[in-house]
Amino acid sequence: MSEAAPGSGRVAVVTGAARGIGAATAVRLAREGFAVAVCDLDEAGCAATAGRVEEAGGRALAVGVDVSDAPAVEAAIARIAAELGPPVVLVNNAGIIRDNLLFRMSDDDWDSVMSVHLRGAFLMSRAAQRHMTDAGWGRIVNLSSVSALGNRGQANYSAAKAGLQGFTKTLAIELGRFGVTANAIAPGFIATEMTAATAARVGMDFEEFKQAAAKEIPVRRVGVPEDIAGTVAFLVSDDASFVSGQVIYVAGGPRA
């Protein structure tokens, strides 16, 4: 790792980093000079991403943590601080979908989506912010979605993703005086296991599903995880120190 790299050995935490957008973000942050705590439900499942972080020149720590479990989150942040260093970048990326039309949506569909996205981002941010305020520098990036604007079959997910936007703006207001910024990224269609699962649910081949989606996107392609990782890299950089409380739609158009 080059000493001139923007991360300069600072410690970043990425949740849901075993695969998809989180994995691409972890690797990109390593390239930017950050040490990366690769967090996901299953520690063994983090090994591949941790290996890619190391190949990219970063120190890596694989951490198994359910972001909706308060004691587990406290323990994970304490372990990261002890083994990797105080975390000053947090990317709240872990997510699930439990899609259903409102009349079929179960209590559990609602509660589990709120738990991972909203409670998870809250618990992780509360645990990590003390290291950022101590350092007088920090970055929080929350993964929202174009679904925050409303999406059929996603009453739970769209409410959580809209909630994350309000959460982000409040963190920006509370933490700005400590040199900490908070921003949200709202991706459009990104090709990952999450969108593959949506294709399977509606009975479509994933390639056909992506082609159909691309026709509706102004830049005429679906996104890839690296599209989001690049936006995270900007938001955690020193160049973005005056950008806070914003929601950046990364969707190949104003919304997908």
Residue 244 C-beta-side C-alpha neighbours within 13 Å: 20
CB of 2 to ligand NAP, least distance (A): 28
Closest CA to 123 of 180, 62, 167: 167
The reply on whether position 194 binds ligand NAP by CB under 6 A is yes
Closest CA to 55 of 85, 80, 26: 26
Size of the site for ligand NAP (CB under 6 A): 28
- Maximum Cα interatomic distance, the chain, rounded to a whole number of Å: 55
The reply on whether position 21 binds ligand NAP by CB under 6 A is yes
Q: Is 249 an annotated catalytic residue?
A: no
Residue among 187, 229, 235, 249 that touches ligand NAP (CB under 6 A): 187
Given the residues 34, 122, 157, 209, select the one marked as catalytic. 157
DSSP state string for 201-231? HTT--HHHHHHHHHHTSTTSS-B-HHHHHHH
Residues 51-80, one symbol each (x = binds ligand NAP by CB under 6 A, - = not), give ---------------xxx------------
Question: Do residues 64 and 90 touch, judged by C-beta distance below 8 A?
Answer: no
Question: Do residues 161 and 145 touch, judged by C-beta distance below 8 A?
Answer: yes
The reply on whether position 18 binds ligand NAP by CB under 6 A is yes
Residue among 50, 77, 94, 172 that touches ligand NAP (CB under 6 A): 94
Comparing CB distances to ligand NAP, the nearer of 22 and 163 is 22
Which positions are annotated as active-site residues? 157
Positions in the binding site for ligand NAP (CB under 6 A) = 15-16, 18-22, 40-42, 66-68, 93-96, 116, 120, 143, 145, 187, 189-190, 192-195
